[in-house]
Amino acid sequence: MALKDAIAKKRQQEAEAGIRHNPEIDAKIDKFIQENPELHAKISAYSHDELVRKRIYDIMRTNEQRQGFREEVRQYVEANPDIKQEVERRMKRIPEAQREGAFTRIARSAIATAGMRQGQTAAAGNPY
């Protein structure tokens, strides 16, 4: 069965099952598959369990990177009292349940604002 036929059959099955797709993303994926048939063949040979584990690993790695970034921001804020004071001032308005998620966003904004006021750049010690 040709790749085009296999994709059409799979889409038909998914349509019957009620799975929704974004046509623009599907077109990009189809183009990528056509440009990289070796990669498609390699991935198609994986078992379902291997694919699930690889996807979970990708999610896990992304979460670790985010956590590392949050920790770097937290350390930078702790090392800069003026930024820490500004972050604490802004955090007072945030409900307790939302503070952990909002901290990084608020801290990045405060760091950027402080950097603009002081004329700092990434080369001058502001990594954000």
Q: What are the E-state strand segments in 1-101?
A: none
In tens, the pLDDT along 26-67 reads: 999 999 999 999 999 999 999 999 999 999 999 999 999 999
Task: Supply the mean pLDDT for the chain.
Answer: 85
Nearest CA to 83 among 40, 34, 44, 116? 116
Structural domain boundaries in the chain: 22-124
- Measured between its terminal Cα atoms, the distance across the chain in Å is 51
d(CA 48, CA 77): 44
**For residues 5-29, average pLDDT:** 82
**In whole angstroms, what is the distance from residue 41 CA to residue 78 CA?**
49
pTM over 0.95? The answer is no
